[in-house]
Amino acid sequence: MEKVVILIPREKDHFHSDLYIEKKEFTDVSINGEEVYSLYKTDTEFLFILLRKFGQKTNTEYWIEEKLIELDKILSIKFPQNDRIIAIHWGGMENSTALINYILPKTDASFKLINGTAYLTFYSDSNDQIRTKTNGAIYKFLLARLKILSFAYLKKMIIKLWLPLAIDIQGLSEVQNDTVKADEYFAEVKNETEYLESLKSFPKDDDFPRWAEIRDKNGYKEFDFKKFLDALTNNDFGLLLNSTNYLRVEEEETEEIKKLKNEVAELEKKSNEEEYEKKKKELEEKMKNPNFLPNWLQDVVGVIDEKIKESSKPKD
Amino acid sequence: MDSTGNKYLFYTKEYSPLFTSLQRYFNYILKQELNLLSQIELLTSTNAILVYQEERENPDLLKIVANNSNIKIIVVGFDSNSSLNLIDFSNIKNNLSKIICSEGSQQRQVFTEIELIDKIQNFFKGHGEESIFQVLNAVMYCFQNYEFYKSGGLTDEEYKDYYVAPAKSQWEKFLIRFDKYKVYLRLLRYNVEVSEIDNYCVILDEFVKNSSELIEVQETEDENNLAKVKKNLGLIKKIDYFFTTISNKLGLMDAPIQSPGS
Protein backbone atom coordinates (compact mmCIF):
# COMPACT_ATOMS: atom_id res chain seq x y z
CA MET A 1 0.00 0.00 0.00
CA GLU A 2 1.25 3.40 -0.84
CA LYS A 3 1.39 6.11 1.71
CA VAL A 4 1.59 9.81 2.04
CA VAL A 5 3.68 11.43 4.69
CA ILE A 6 3.92 15.16 4.58
CA LEU A 7 6.23 16.75 7.04
CA ILE A 8 6.33 20.49 7.22
CA PRO A 9 8.77 22.28 9.48
CA ARG A 10 6.99 24.69 11.78
CA GLU A 11 8.67 27.76 10.32
CA LYS A 12 7.28 26.84 6.90
CA ASP A 13 3.65 26.59 7.94
CA HIS A 14 2.59 28.77 5.05
CA PHE A 15 3.24 25.78 2.79
CA HIS A 16 -0.04 24.28 4.04
CA SER A 17 -1.97 26.59 1.80
CA ASP A 18 0.69 26.62 -0.87
CA LEU A 19 0.28 22.92 -1.30
CA TYR A 20 -3.48 23.19 -1.28
CA ILE A 21 -3.71 20.65 1.44
CA GLU A 22 -5.03 22.98 4.07
CA LYS A 23 -8.19 20.93 4.38
CA LYS A 24 -6.21 17.94 5.48
CA GLU A 25 -5.75 17.28 9.14
CA PHE A 26 -2.26 17.86 10.43
CA THR A 27 -0.78 16.61 13.66
CA ASP A 28 1.60 18.77 15.59
CA VAL A 29 4.88 17.08 16.22
CA SER A 30 7.05 18.09 19.14
CA ILE A 31 10.69 17.47 19.75
CA ASN A 32 11.86 18.19 23.31
CA GLY A 33 8.59 19.94 24.04
CA GLU A 34 8.89 22.29 21.08
CA GLU A 35 6.47 22.00 18.19
CA VAL A 36 8.62 21.60 15.14
CA TYR A 37 6.59 19.87 12.49
CA SER A 38 3.12 19.54 11.11
CA LEU A 39 2.57 15.99 10.03
CA TYR A 40 -0.01 14.60 7.69
CA LYS A 41 -0.28 10.88 7.21
CA THR A 42 -2.48 8.68 5.13
CA ASP A 43 -2.27 5.17 3.81
CA THR A 44 -4.00 5.84 0.56
CA GLU A 45 -1.36 7.49 -1.51
CA PHE A 46 2.31 7.69 -1.65
CA LEU A 47 4.12 10.89 -1.09
CA PHE A 48 6.64 12.19 1.31
CA ILE A 49 7.32 15.86 1.28
CA LEU A 50 10.16 17.50 3.08
CA LEU A 51 10.74 21.18 3.03
CA ARG A 52 14.27 22.34 3.20
CA LYS A 53 15.15 24.98 5.69
CA PHE A 54 16.37 28.33 4.53
CA GLY A 55 20.13 28.63 4.39
CA GLN A 56 20.72 24.96 4.97
CA LYS A 57 24.38 24.10 4.83
CA THR A 58 24.37 20.36 4.66
CA ASN A 59 24.40 18.35 1.51
CA THR A 60 20.88 17.49 0.34
CA GLU A 61 21.41 13.77 0.54
CA TYR A 62 22.68 13.90 4.10
CA TRP A 63 19.85 16.21 5.03
CA ILE A 64 17.22 13.81 3.72
CA GLU A 65 18.86 10.87 5.42
CA GLU A 66 18.92 12.83 8.65
CA LYS A 67 15.19 13.53 8.31
CA LEU A 68 14.46 9.87 7.64
CA ILE A 69 16.28 8.95 10.82
CA GLU A 70 14.34 11.64 12.65
CA LEU A 71 11.07 10.28 11.34
CA ASP A 72 12.00 6.82 12.46
CA LYS A 73 13.29 7.79 15.91
CA ILE A 74 10.84 10.47 16.87
CA LEU A 75 7.72 9.63 14.96
CA SER A 76 8.15 5.88 14.62
CA ILE A 77 7.62 6.07 10.88
CA LYS A 78 9.89 3.48 9.42
CA PHE A 79 11.30 3.59 5.93
CA PRO A 80 12.98 0.25 5.35
CA GLN A 81 15.45 -0.06 2.57
CA ASN A 82 13.80 -0.83 -0.76
CA ASP A 83 10.53 0.58 0.46
CA ARG A 84 9.11 2.84 -2.17
CA ILE A 85 9.38 6.30 -0.82
CA ILE A 86 9.67 9.49 -2.69
CA ALA A 87 10.68 12.52 -0.76
CA ILE A 88 10.02 15.82 -2.39
CA HIS A 89 12.57 18.24 -1.28
CA TRP A 90 11.10 21.64 -1.70
CA GLY A 91 13.90 24.09 -1.86
CA GLY A 92 14.15 27.70 -2.79
CA MET A 93 14.37 30.99 -1.03
CA GLU A 94 12.44 34.16 -0.85
CA ASN A 95 13.26 37.15 -3.05
CA SER A 96 14.87 35.10 -5.76
CA THR A 97 14.79 35.25 -9.49
CA ALA A 98 12.04 33.31 -11.20
CA LEU A 99 12.99 29.74 -11.93
CA ILE A 100 9.66 28.08 -12.16
CA ASN A 101 10.42 26.94 -15.66
CA TYR A 102 13.15 24.91 -14.16
CA ILE A 103 10.67 22.76 -12.33
CA LEU A 104 8.64 21.18 -15.06
CA PRO A 105 11.10 19.91 -17.61
CA LYS A 106 13.95 19.04 -15.34
CA THR A 107 12.46 17.28 -12.38
CA ASP A 108 13.39 13.82 -13.55
CA ALA A 109 16.98 14.85 -13.84
CA SER A 110 16.99 15.56 -10.15
CA PHE A 111 15.59 12.18 -9.34
CA LYS A 112 17.95 10.15 -7.24
CA LEU A 113 18.09 7.15 -5.04
CA ILE A 114 19.61 7.24 -1.61
CA ASN A 115 19.83 3.98 0.27
CA GLY A 116 16.74 2.70 -1.43
CA THR A 117 14.89 5.95 -0.99
CA ALA A 118 13.93 8.00 -3.95
CA TYR A 119 13.71 11.72 -3.70
CA LEU A 120 12.96 14.49 -6.02
CA THR A 121 14.02 18.05 -5.66
CA PHE A 122 11.63 20.77 -6.61
CA TYR A 123 13.15 24.18 -6.72
CA SER A 124 10.99 27.16 -6.22
CA ASP A 125 11.44 30.75 -5.39
CA SER A 126 7.95 32.03 -5.67
CA ASN A 127 5.01 29.97 -4.55
CA ASP A 128 2.73 32.29 -6.46
CA GLN A 129 4.45 31.36 -9.66
CA ILE A 130 4.13 27.67 -8.93
CA ARG A 131 0.46 28.17 -8.19
CA THR A 132 0.01 29.93 -11.53
CA LYS A 133 2.00 27.38 -13.46
CA THR A 134 0.11 24.45 -11.98
CA ASN A 135 -3.30 26.12 -12.20
CA GLY A 136 -3.38 26.34 -8.47
CA ALA A 137 -3.42 22.61 -7.95
CA ILE A 138 0.05 22.14 -6.60
CA TYR A 139 -0.85 19.05 -4.68
CA LYS A 140 -2.49 17.52 -7.74
CA PHE A 141 0.54 18.46 -9.78
CA LEU A 142 2.86 16.79 -7.32
CA LEU A 143 0.84 13.61 -7.38
CA ALA A 144 0.88 13.59 -11.17
CA ARG A 145 4.65 14.01 -11.18
CA LEU A 146 4.82 11.28 -8.62
CA LYS A 147 3.18 8.83 -10.97
CA ILE A 148 5.98 9.39 -13.44
CA LEU A 149 8.55 9.15 -10.72
CA SER A 150 7.10 5.90 -9.51
CA PHE A 151 7.79 4.39 -12.92
CA ALA A 152 11.25 5.86 -12.99
CA TYR A 153 11.85 4.49 -9.54
CA LEU A 154 10.54 1.09 -10.54
CA LYS A 155 12.90 1.05 -13.49
CA LYS A 156 15.90 1.89 -11.35
CA MET A 157 14.99 -0.67 -8.73
CA ILE A 158 14.50 -3.45 -11.28
CA ILE A 159 17.87 -2.72 -12.82
CA LYS A 160 19.61 -2.26 -9.52
CA LEU A 161 18.33 -5.52 -8.09
CA TRP A 162 18.48 -7.76 -11.13
CA LEU A 163 21.53 -6.59 -13.00
CA PRO A 164 24.06 -8.27 -10.66
CA LEU A 165 22.30 -11.59 -11.09
CA ALA A 166 22.10 -11.03 -14.83
CA ILE A 167 25.88 -10.64 -14.95
CA ASP A 168 26.35 -13.82 -12.94
CA ILE A 169 24.03 -15.69 -15.27
CA GLN A 170 25.97 -14.48 -18.25
CA GLY A 171 29.21 -15.58 -16.58
CA LEU A 172 27.76 -18.99 -15.74
CA SER A 173 26.55 -19.43 -19.29
CA GLU A 174 30.09 -18.96 -20.49
CA VAL A 175 31.70 -21.52 -18.18
CA GLN A 176 29.02 -24.18 -18.09
CA ASN A 177 31.02 -26.63 -20.18
CA ASP A 178 33.93 -26.48 -17.73
CA THR A 179 32.39 -28.44 -14.85
CA VAL A 180 34.99 -27.53 -12.24
CA LYS A 181 34.91 -23.86 -13.06
CA ALA A 182 31.13 -23.80 -13.32
CA ASP A 183 30.75 -25.42 -9.90
CA GLU A 184 33.17 -22.98 -8.38
CA TYR A 185 31.47 -20.00 -10.02
CA PHE A 186 28.02 -21.23 -9.09
CA ALA A 187 29.09 -21.79 -5.48
CA GLU A 188 30.16 -18.19 -5.28
CA VAL A 189 26.92 -16.93 -6.74
CA LYS A 190 24.65 -18.93 -4.49
CA ASN A 191 26.74 -17.86 -1.54
CA GLU A 192 25.33 -14.36 -1.97
CA THR A 193 22.41 -15.27 0.24
CA GLU A 194 21.58 -11.76 1.38
CA TYR A 195 21.47 -10.48 -2.17
CA LEU A 196 19.44 -13.40 -3.50
CA GLU A 197 17.03 -13.01 -0.63
CA SER A 198 16.52 -9.36 -1.53
CA LEU A 199 15.41 -10.38 -5.03
CA LYS A 200 12.44 -12.25 -3.62
CA SER A 201 10.91 -9.13 -2.19
CA PHE A 202 11.09 -7.07 -5.34
CA PRO A 203 9.76 -6.80 -7.91
CA LYS A 204 6.25 -8.04 -7.34
CA ASP A 205 4.28 -9.55 -10.22
CA ASP A 206 2.60 -6.24 -10.88
CA ASP A 207 5.98 -4.63 -11.35
CA PHE A 208 6.43 -6.40 -14.66
CA PRO A 209 4.28 -4.36 -16.94
CA ARG A 210 3.10 -6.21 -20.01
CA TRP A 211 5.39 -9.09 -19.16
CA ALA A 212 3.40 -11.59 -21.20
CA GLU A 213 3.69 -9.36 -24.26
CA ILE A 214 7.45 -9.05 -23.85
CA ARG A 215 7.83 -12.75 -23.21
CA ASP A 216 5.90 -13.79 -26.30
CA LYS A 217 7.47 -11.21 -28.55
CA ASN A 218 10.98 -12.28 -27.66
CA GLY A 219 10.44 -15.94 -27.17
CA TYR A 220 11.30 -15.92 -23.49
CA LYS A 221 8.85 -18.72 -23.06
CA GLU A 222 10.76 -20.70 -20.55
CA PHE A 223 11.76 -17.90 -18.35
CA ASP A 224 10.14 -17.63 -15.01
CA PHE A 225 12.06 -15.42 -12.68
CA LYS A 226 10.64 -17.08 -9.57
CA LYS A 227 11.51 -20.55 -10.78
CA PHE A 228 14.87 -19.26 -11.76
CA LEU A 229 15.48 -17.79 -8.35
CA ASP A 230 14.34 -20.98 -6.65
CA ALA A 231 16.80 -22.98 -8.71
CA LEU A 232 19.57 -20.68 -7.65
CA THR A 233 18.74 -20.62 -3.97
CA ASN A 234 18.17 -24.37 -3.92
CA ASN A 235 21.65 -24.95 -5.31
CA ASP A 236 20.16 -26.64 -8.32
CA PHE A 237 22.52 -25.95 -11.15
CA GLY A 238 20.93 -28.77 -13.17
CA LEU A 239 17.49 -27.23 -12.89
CA LEU A 240 18.93 -23.88 -13.80
CA LEU A 241 20.54 -25.38 -16.85
CA ASN A 242 17.55 -27.38 -18.01
CA SER A 243 14.63 -25.22 -17.15
CA THR A 244 15.81 -22.01 -18.67
CA ASN A 245 17.39 -21.10 -21.92
CA TYR A 246 19.52 -18.44 -20.31
CA LEU A 247 22.55 -20.60 -19.84
CA ARG A 248 23.22 -21.07 -23.48
CA VAL A 249 26.63 -20.35 -24.80
CA GLU A 250 26.82 -17.65 -27.37
CA GLU A 251 26.28 -18.64 -30.94
CA GLU A 252 29.32 -19.41 -33.00
CA GLU A 253 30.59 -16.50 -34.98
CA THR A 254 28.68 -16.47 -38.24
CA GLU A 255 30.06 -15.43 -41.61
CA GLU A 256 27.89 -12.35 -41.44
CA ILE A 257 29.41 -11.30 -38.11
CA LYS A 258 32.93 -12.01 -39.33
CA LYS A 259 32.32 -9.81 -42.35
CA LEU A 260 30.86 -7.05 -40.22
CA LYS A 261 33.81 -7.21 -37.84
CA ASN A 262 36.23 -6.71 -40.70
CA GLU A 263 34.25 -3.79 -42.02
CA VAL A 264 34.23 -2.13 -38.59
CA ALA A 265 37.98 -2.61 -38.24
CA GLU A 266 38.57 -1.08 -41.68
CA LEU A 267 36.37 1.92 -40.93
CA GLU A 268 38.15 2.50 -37.64
CA LYS A 269 41.47 2.65 -39.47
CA LYS A 270 40.07 5.10 -41.97
CA SER A 271 38.80 7.38 -39.18
CA ASN A 272 35.41 7.54 -40.85
CA GLU A 273 33.68 8.21 -37.55
CA GLU A 274 30.08 8.43 -38.66
CA GLU A 275 30.14 5.31 -40.77
CA TYR A 276 32.26 3.52 -38.15
CA GLU A 277 29.75 4.23 -35.37
CA LYS A 278 26.89 3.08 -37.57
CA LYS A 279 28.56 -0.19 -38.48
CA LYS A 280 29.77 -0.73 -34.94
CA LYS A 281 26.24 -0.45 -33.65
CA GLU A 282 25.03 -2.87 -36.28
CA LEU A 283 27.70 -5.35 -35.25
CA GLU A 284 26.88 -5.00 -31.57
CA GLU A 285 23.22 -5.64 -32.30
CA LYS A 286 24.06 -8.76 -34.29
CA MET A 287 26.39 -10.03 -31.58
CA LYS A 288 23.85 -9.75 -28.82
CA ASN A 289 22.96 -13.05 -27.32
CA PRO A 290 19.17 -13.01 -27.51
CA ASN A 291 18.98 -15.10 -24.40
CA PHE A 292 21.13 -12.92 -22.25
CA LEU A 293 19.08 -11.69 -19.33
CA PRO A 294 19.95 -7.99 -19.69
CA ASN A 295 18.23 -8.09 -23.07
CA TRP A 296 15.13 -9.17 -21.26
CA LEU A 297 15.75 -6.52 -18.62
CA GLN A 298 16.12 -3.97 -21.38
CA ASP A 299 12.71 -4.95 -22.72
CA VAL A 300 11.12 -4.56 -19.32
CA VAL A 301 12.65 -1.14 -18.73
CA GLY A 302 11.72 -0.19 -22.28
CA VAL A 303 8.08 -0.73 -21.42
CA ILE A 304 8.49 1.36 -18.28
CA ASP A 305 10.08 4.09 -20.39
CA GLU A 306 7.03 4.04 -22.62
CA LYS A 307 4.81 4.46 -19.57
CA ILE A 308 6.87 7.38 -18.38
CA LYS A 309 6.51 8.96 -21.79
CA GLU A 310 2.76 8.39 -21.81
CA SER A 311 2.36 9.85 -18.33
CA SER A 312 4.42 12.88 -19.28
CA LYS A 313 2.08 13.83 -22.10
CA PRO A 314 -0.05 16.83 -21.23
CA LYS A 315 -3.62 15.85 -20.43
CA ASP A 316 -6.55 17.84 -21.76
CA MET B 1 44.51 -11.10 -23.56
CA ASP B 2 46.38 -7.88 -23.40
CA SER B 3 45.73 -5.62 -20.57
CA THR B 4 46.23 -1.92 -20.16
CA GLY B 5 46.90 -2.41 -16.46
CA ASN B 6 45.01 -3.15 -13.34
CA LYS B 7 41.38 -2.27 -13.30
CA TYR B 8 40.01 -0.54 -10.30
CA LEU B 9 36.46 -0.21 -9.38
CA PHE B 10 34.73 2.45 -7.47
CA TYR B 11 31.74 1.46 -5.46
CA THR B 12 29.62 2.50 -2.59
CA LYS B 13 27.60 0.19 -0.40
CA GLU B 14 24.54 0.93 -2.49
CA TYR B 15 25.85 -0.97 -5.53
CA SER B 16 28.07 -3.57 -3.90
CA PRO B 17 26.13 -6.58 -5.33
CA LEU B 18 26.70 -5.25 -8.83
CA PHE B 19 30.42 -4.94 -8.36
CA THR B 20 30.67 -8.30 -6.60
CA SER B 21 29.10 -9.86 -9.70
CA LEU B 22 31.42 -7.89 -11.93
CA GLN B 23 34.40 -9.04 -9.90
CA ARG B 24 33.37 -12.63 -10.51
CA TYR B 25 32.88 -11.95 -14.21
CA PHE B 26 36.31 -10.36 -14.50
CA ASN B 27 37.89 -13.21 -12.61
CA TYR B 28 36.24 -16.21 -14.31
CA ILE B 29 35.61 -14.89 -17.78
CA LEU B 30 37.96 -12.05 -18.53
CA LYS B 31 40.76 -13.42 -16.37
CA GLN B 32 41.41 -10.00 -14.94
CA GLU B 33 41.45 -8.71 -11.44
CA LEU B 34 38.96 -6.11 -10.47
CA ASN B 35 39.90 -4.45 -7.23
CA LEU B 36 38.21 -2.28 -4.77
CA LEU B 37 39.29 1.29 -5.17
CA SER B 38 40.77 2.08 -1.82
CA GLN B 39 44.21 3.54 -2.21
CA ILE B 40 44.42 6.72 -4.19
CA GLU B 41 48.19 6.43 -4.39
CA LEU B 42 47.78 3.37 -6.55
CA LEU B 43 46.12 5.39 -9.27
CA THR B 44 48.24 5.90 -12.31
CA SER B 45 47.50 6.48 -15.95
CA THR B 46 47.45 2.73 -16.52
CA ASN B 47 44.61 2.26 -14.12
CA ALA B 48 40.95 2.53 -14.79
CA ILE B 49 38.01 3.15 -12.56
CA LEU B 50 34.73 1.50 -13.34
CA VAL B 51 31.88 3.73 -12.37
CA TYR B 52 28.27 2.68 -12.38
CA GLN B 53 26.19 5.29 -14.18
CA GLU B 54 24.03 6.00 -11.13
CA GLU B 55 27.10 6.86 -9.09
CA ARG B 56 28.51 9.47 -11.36
CA GLU B 57 27.64 12.27 -9.00
CA ASN B 58 29.29 10.78 -5.96
CA PRO B 59 31.28 13.73 -4.55
CA ASP B 60 34.26 11.59 -3.52
CA LEU B 61 34.50 10.10 -6.98
CA LEU B 62 34.24 13.49 -8.63
CA LYS B 63 37.10 14.81 -6.52
CA ILE B 64 39.28 11.90 -7.59
CA VAL B 65 38.37 12.40 -11.23
CA ALA B 66 38.88 16.17 -11.15
CA ASN B 67 42.24 15.90 -9.42
CA ASN B 68 43.63 13.05 -11.50
CA SER B 69 43.30 13.89 -15.13
CA ASN B 70 45.22 10.77 -16.21
CA ILE B 71 42.80 8.29 -14.80
CA LYS B 72 40.78 6.35 -17.29
CA ILE B 73 37.13 6.37 -16.36
CA ILE B 74 34.85 3.68 -17.62
CA VAL B 75 31.21 4.37 -17.03
CA VAL B 76 29.24 1.17 -17.03
CA GLY B 77 25.51 1.04 -17.14
CA PHE B 78 22.38 -0.20 -18.64
CA ASP B 79 21.11 2.29 -21.10
CA SER B 80 21.88 1.78 -24.75
CA ASN B 81 20.27 5.14 -25.51
CA SER B 82 22.53 7.06 -23.15
CA SER B 83 24.16 10.13 -24.61
CA LEU B 84 27.21 9.22 -22.58
CA ASN B 85 29.63 6.79 -24.14
CA LEU B 86 29.07 4.16 -21.50
CA ILE B 87 29.84 0.49 -21.52
CA ASP B 88 26.45 -1.06 -21.89
CA PHE B 89 25.80 -4.27 -19.99
CA SER B 90 23.50 -5.53 -22.69
CA ASN B 91 26.52 -6.86 -24.56
CA ILE B 92 28.75 -7.37 -21.60
CA LYS B 93 31.41 -9.79 -22.82
CA ASN B 94 32.03 -8.01 -26.02
CA ASN B 95 32.06 -4.56 -24.46
CA LEU B 96 34.21 -5.41 -21.46
CA SER B 97 36.66 -7.37 -23.58
CA LYS B 98 37.04 -4.34 -25.80
CA ILE B 99 38.01 -2.02 -22.94
CA ILE B 100 40.51 -4.50 -21.59
CA CYS B 101 42.12 -4.99 -24.98
CA SER B 102 42.03 -1.40 -26.15
CA GLU B 103 45.46 -0.18 -25.21
CA GLY B 104 45.83 3.56 -24.95
CA SER B 105 42.19 4.19 -25.56
CA GLN B 106 40.88 7.59 -24.76
CA GLN B 107 39.69 8.54 -21.34
CA ARG B 108 35.97 8.35 -21.12
CA GLN B 109 34.01 11.18 -19.65
CA VAL B 110 31.98 10.89 -16.49
CA PHE B 111 29.56 13.47 -17.86
CA THR B 112 28.85 14.68 -21.32
CA GLU B 113 29.82 18.24 -22.13
CA ILE B 114 26.14 19.18 -22.24
CA GLU B 115 25.52 17.70 -18.79
CA LEU B 116 28.47 19.62 -17.37
CA ILE B 117 27.36 22.90 -18.90
CA ASP B 118 23.90 22.31 -17.51
CA LYS B 119 25.39 21.92 -14.04
CA ILE B 120 27.48 25.04 -14.41
CA GLN B 121 24.38 26.88 -15.49
CA ASN B 122 22.82 25.87 -12.17
CA PHE B 123 25.88 27.14 -10.41
CA PHE B 124 25.64 30.53 -12.07
CA LYS B 125 21.88 30.93 -11.99
CA GLY B 126 21.12 29.10 -8.74
CA HIS B 127 18.30 26.74 -7.91
CA GLY B 128 15.57 29.27 -7.34
CA GLU B 129 18.12 31.19 -5.39
CA GLU B 130 20.23 34.19 -6.23
CA SER B 131 22.64 33.96 -9.12
CA ILE B 132 26.26 33.60 -8.14
CA PHE B 133 26.78 37.16 -9.35
CA GLN B 134 24.06 38.40 -7.04
CA VAL B 135 25.62 36.57 -4.11
CA LEU B 136 29.00 38.13 -4.85
CA ASN B 137 27.32 41.46 -5.38
CA ALA B 138 25.80 41.31 -1.90
CA VAL B 139 29.23 40.74 -0.38
CA MET B 140 30.71 43.51 -2.44
CA TYR B 141 27.91 45.90 -1.47
CA CYS B 142 28.99 45.77 2.15
CA PHE B 143 32.58 46.73 1.50
CA GLN B 144 31.83 49.25 -1.19
CA ASN B 145 29.95 51.18 1.46
CA TYR B 146 32.77 51.12 3.96
CA GLU B 147 33.91 54.60 3.02
CA PHE B 148 30.35 55.89 3.23
CA TYR B 149 30.06 54.38 6.71
CA LYS B 150 33.36 55.85 7.85
CA SER B 151 32.37 59.27 6.57
CA GLY B 152 29.40 59.17 8.94
CA GLY B 153 26.74 58.08 6.45
CA LEU B 154 25.87 55.06 8.57
CA THR B 155 25.95 54.32 12.27
CA ASP B 156 27.98 51.43 13.63
CA GLU B 157 24.78 49.52 14.29
CA GLU B 158 23.43 50.15 10.79
CA TYR B 159 26.65 49.08 9.13
CA LYS B 160 26.92 46.02 11.30
CA ASP B 161 23.29 44.86 10.91
CA TYR B 162 22.52 45.83 7.35
CA TYR B 163 25.88 45.45 5.66
CA VAL B 164 28.38 43.27 7.54
CA ALA B 165 25.97 40.61 8.78
CA PRO B 166 24.34 40.00 5.34
CA ALA B 167 27.78 40.02 3.69
CA LYS B 168 28.97 37.29 6.04
CA SER B 169 25.92 35.18 5.36
CA GLN B 170 26.19 35.67 1.60
CA TRP B 171 29.88 34.87 1.67
CA GLU B 172 29.18 31.62 3.44
CA LYS B 173 26.57 30.84 0.80
CA PHE B 174 29.08 31.61 -1.92
CA LEU B 175 31.68 29.28 -0.43
CA ILE B 176 29.22 26.41 -0.07
CA ARG B 177 28.08 26.81 -3.66
CA PHE B 178 31.52 27.19 -5.11
CA ASP B 179 32.79 24.22 -3.14
CA LYS B 180 29.97 22.08 -4.50
CA TYR B 181 30.37 23.08 -8.12
CA LYS B 182 34.07 23.65 -8.56
CA VAL B 183 34.59 20.01 -9.39
CA TYR B 184 32.38 20.45 -12.47
CA LEU B 185 34.38 23.51 -13.48
CA ARG B 186 37.52 21.41 -13.20
CA LEU B 187 35.93 18.71 -15.35
CA LEU B 188 35.35 21.41 -17.93
CA ARG B 189 39.09 22.09 -17.78
CA TYR B 190 38.92 25.35 -15.81
CA ASN B 191 41.55 24.07 -13.39
CA VAL B 192 43.67 27.21 -13.47
CA GLU B 193 40.72 29.49 -12.80
CA VAL B 194 39.42 27.29 -9.99
CA SER B 195 42.83 27.20 -8.31
CA GLU B 196 43.11 30.98 -8.54
CA ILE B 197 39.64 31.47 -7.09
CA ASP B 198 40.47 28.96 -4.34
CA ASN B 199 43.48 31.07 -3.40
CA TYR B 200 41.42 34.27 -3.34
CA CYS B 201 38.78 32.55 -1.24
CA VAL B 202 41.30 31.72 1.48
CA ILE B 203 42.26 35.40 1.79
CA LEU B 204 38.71 36.65 1.46
CA ASP B 205 37.36 34.19 3.97
CA GLU B 206 39.73 35.45 6.63
CA PHE B 207 38.81 39.03 5.78
CA VAL B 208 35.01 38.51 5.72
CA LYS B 209 35.01 36.46 8.89
CA ASN B 210 36.86 39.24 10.70
CA SER B 211 34.95 42.07 9.06
CA SER B 212 33.25 43.01 12.33
CA GLU B 213 36.66 44.40 13.29
CA LEU B 214 36.15 47.11 10.69
CA ILE B 215 33.60 48.63 13.03
CA GLU B 216 34.51 50.70 16.01
CA VAL B 217 38.22 50.91 15.21
CA GLN B 218 40.47 53.80 16.15
CA GLU B 219 40.64 56.57 13.58
CA THR B 220 44.35 55.94 13.17
CA GLU B 221 43.56 52.51 11.71
CA ASP B 222 41.05 53.81 9.20
CA GLU B 223 43.53 54.23 6.41
CA ASN B 224 44.93 50.80 6.91
CA ASN B 225 41.46 49.29 6.95
CA LEU B 226 40.42 51.16 3.84
CA ALA B 227 43.39 49.73 1.99
CA LYS B 228 42.49 46.29 3.24
CA VAL B 229 38.89 46.71 2.09
CA LYS B 230 40.00 47.91 -1.34
CA LYS B 231 42.41 45.01 -1.72
CA ASN B 232 39.71 42.47 -0.90
CA LEU B 233 37.18 44.19 -3.10
CA GLY B 234 39.70 43.74 -5.87
CA LEU B 235 39.79 40.00 -5.20
CA ILE B 236 35.99 39.76 -5.38
CA LYS B 237 36.10 41.59 -8.70
CA LYS B 238 38.70 39.15 -9.96
CA ILE B 239 36.44 36.25 -9.03
CA ASP B 240 33.61 38.00 -10.81
CA TYR B 241 35.83 38.43 -13.84
CA PHE B 242 36.67 34.72 -13.93
CA PHE B 243 33.01 33.77 -13.66
CA THR B 244 31.95 36.27 -16.29
CA THR B 245 34.61 34.95 -18.66
CA ILE B 246 33.62 31.32 -18.07
CA SER B 247 29.96 32.19 -18.42
CA ASN B 248 30.65 33.90 -21.72
CA LYS B 249 32.78 31.08 -23.04
CA LEU B 250 30.10 28.55 -22.22
CA GLY B 251 27.40 30.75 -23.68
CA LEU B 252 25.69 31.15 -20.32
CA MET B 253 25.87 34.89 -20.17
CA ASP B 254 24.16 36.03 -17.01
CA ALA B 255 23.74 39.46 -15.50
CA PRO B 256 27.23 40.49 -14.49
CA ILE B 257 27.99 41.81 -11.07
CA GLN B 258 26.67 45.30 -10.71
CA SER B 259 27.43 48.15 -8.46
CA PRO B 260 24.67 48.95 -5.98
CA GLY B 261 22.27 51.45 -7.35
CA SER B 262 23.38 50.93 -10.92
**DSSP string across B204-254:** HHHHHHTGGGGTT--GGGHHHHHHHHHHHHHHHHHHHHHHHHHHHHTT---
Average pLDDT over residues A201-212: 55
Greater model confidence, A293 or A76: A76
CA distance A307 to A309: 5
Q: What average pLDDT does chain A have?
A: 61
Quick one: three-class SS letters along chain A? CCCEEEEEEHHHCCHHHHCCCCCCCCEEEEECCEEEEEEEEECCCCEEEEECCCCCCCCHHHHHHHHHHHHHHHHCCCCCCCCCCEEEEEECCCCCCCCHHHHHHHHHHHCEEECCEEEEEEECCCHHHHHHHCCCCHHHHHHHHHHHHHHHHHHHHHHHHHHHHHHHHHHHHHHCCCHHHHHHHHHHHHCCHHHHHHHHHCCCHHHCCCHHHHHHHHCCCCCCHHHHHHHHHCCCHHHHHHHCCCCCCCCCCCHHHHHHHHHHHHHHHCCCHHHHHHHHHHHHHHHCCCCCHHHHHHHHHHHHHHHHHHHHCCCC
Task: Write out chain A residues lying below 8 Å of B29, CB-based.
Answer: 171, 174-175
Q: Please tell me which of the candidates B59, B93, B129 has its beta carbon nearest to residue A92.
A: B129
Per-residue pLDDT of B133-181, as tens digits, reads 999 999 999 999 998 988 888 888 999 999 999 999 999 989 988 998 8
Q: Is the pLDDT of residue A82 over 60?
A: no
Residues of B with CB under 8 A from a CB of A: 14-15, 17-18, 20-22, 24-25, 28-29, 54, 57, 59, 78, 80, 89-95, 125-131, 134, 169, 172-173, 176
Per-residue pLDDT of A41-74, as tens digits, reads 555 444 455 555 444 445 555 555 666 666 667 6
Among B28, B71, B81, B80, smallest CA distance to B50 is for B71
Whole-model pTM: value is: 0.66
Give me the pLDDT at residue A7, please.
58
Give me the pLDDT at residue A177, please.
75
- Inter-chain residue contact A301 with B78, CB threshold 8 Å: yes
- Inter-chain residue contact B90 with A298, CB threshold 8 Å: yes
Greater model confidence, B249 or A111: B249
**How many CB pairs below 8 Å do chains A and B form together?**
108
Provide the pLDDT confidence category of residue A116 given band limits of 50, 70 and 90. Answer: very low
Q: Is the pLDDT of residue B68 over 90?
A: no
Average pLDDT over residues B238-253: 90
Average pLDDT over residues B45-64: 80
Average pLDDT over residues A3-31: 56
Give me the pLDDT at residue A25, please.
61
Greater model confidence, B220 or A288: B220
Of A161-170, A217-226, B70-79, B225-234, the one with minimum mean pLDDT is A217-226
- Inter-chain residue contact B169 with A288, CB threshold 8 Å: no
The percentage of residues in chain A with a pLDDT greater than 70, rounded to a whole number, is 24
Greater model confidence, B3 or A107: B3
A26 CB within 8 Å of a chain B CB: no
CA distance B238 to B59: 27
Give me the pLDDT at residue A102, please.
30
Give me the pLDDT at residue B21, please.
92
Give me the pLDDT at residue A268, please.
79
Per-residue pLDDT of A133-191, as tens digits, reads 555 555 566 656 556 656 666 677 677 877 888 788 878 877 877 888 888 998 898 88
A209 CB within 8 Å of a chain B CB: no
Cβ neighbours for A74, distance < 8 A, ≥ 6 positions apart: A29, A31
